[in-house]
Amino acid sequence: MKVALIGGTGDQGLGLALRFVKAGEKVIIGSRDIKKAENTVNTIKNMLKDEECRNLSAMSNEDAAAEGDIIVLTVPLQAQIATLKFIEKFLDGKIFVDATVPLESSLGGKPTRYVDLCHGSAAERTAEFLKGRNTNVISAFNNISSASLVNINEDVNCDCLISSDHEDAKKEVMKLAEKISGVRAIDCGPLENARIIEKITPLLINLNIRNKIKNAGIRITGLSFE
Ligand SMILES: NC(=O)c1ccc[n+]([C@@H]2O[C@H](COP(=O)([O-])OP(=O)(O)OC[C@H]3O[C@@H](n4cnc5c(N)ncnc54)[C@H](OP(=O)(O)O)[C@@H]3O)[C@@H](O)[C@H]2O)c1
């Protein structure tokens, strides 16, 4: 499976790419600007060993979407639909993971406030946009801070809450999430639960600010993991 990060040049894309590359996955950094994608690839190469980066490449967002098997969208809310318009024709038969969080900062407001969308959540907005295509939309990686992800010498001490209406695709993404050292993937049921999961992120940002930290995360207790 090749993992393509659309908007992979930002904080979250870089963090996820680092972890997936470190875990031995084939990773493509996508960008609107291939030079920017190449710079991110070089950043990753400077942080990891050469032999770990053999399956890492830089592409335009469109080529990354065409080439990848699991496509992960890591762009701000205001870029979500605009980016989907460029890549939608490459998404048939693919697993599409949306990490978008509707933060008010996308609209010039506070990062500690959620923006209510008429679709219920950013992931449901994506699913609505891709309706009619054979694309399995998953919501994941919304609550994992990029600061934890880029700190590659330490485990990421939090859970990844994952929701989707496509059970097999959800299992694939759960396996991918658990490649991030320290992360447990939690099956949070249907995609409509993304409207609850995405709302946790502004709370975590609030906790980061109040406690002068950058890596607040969430763990679910009481579940048994064998
Ligand atoms: N950062 C975190 O800790 C974190 C944690 C959980 C969830 N998230 C969510 O993950 C998503 C990405 O977060 P981020 O912090 O990585 O965002 P970011 O750094 O602001 O942006 C990521 C990338 O999106 C592309 N982009 C930005 N503005 C765009 C526009 N107007 N049109 C098209 N593409 C645009 C850029 O890629 P190119 O210029 O290379 O095309 C940029 O490098 C957000 O929805 C955020 O809420 C972030």
The percent of residues in the chain predicted with pLDDT above 90, rounded, is: 99
Distance CA 3, CA 191 (A): 21
Residue 46: half-sphere exposure toward Cβ, Cα within 13 Å: 8
Which helix (H) or strand (E) segment is 137 a member of?
strand 136-139
The percent of residues in the chain predicted with pLDDT above 70, rounded, is: 100
Say if residue 226's pLDDT is above 90. Answer: no
Distances (CA, A) of 212 to 60, 143, 190, 204, 208: 36, 18, 34, 12, 6
Gap from CA of 126 to ligand 1 centroid (Å): 16
Query: What mean pLDDT is predicted for residues 60-78?
Result: 98
Taking CA atoms only, the protein residue closest to ligand 1 atom 9 is 100
Give me the domains of the chain, ranges plus CATH numbers: 2-211 (3.40.50.720)
Ligand 1 neighbours (beta carbon < 6 A): 7, 9-13, 31-33, 36, 74-79, 82-83, 99-101, 103, 142, 144-146, 201
Gap from CA of 224 to ligand 1 centroid (Å): 34
Asked if 70 and 30 count as a contact pair (C-beta separation under 8 A), the reply is no
Query: What mean pLDDT is predicted for residues 131-157?
Result: 98
Taking CA atoms only, the protein residue closest to ligand 1 atom 37 is 7
Nearest to 47 by CA among 150, 189, 192: 150
Say if residue 206's pLDDT is above 70. Answer: yes
Higher pLDDT, 224 or 4: 4
pTM higher than the cut 0.95:
yes
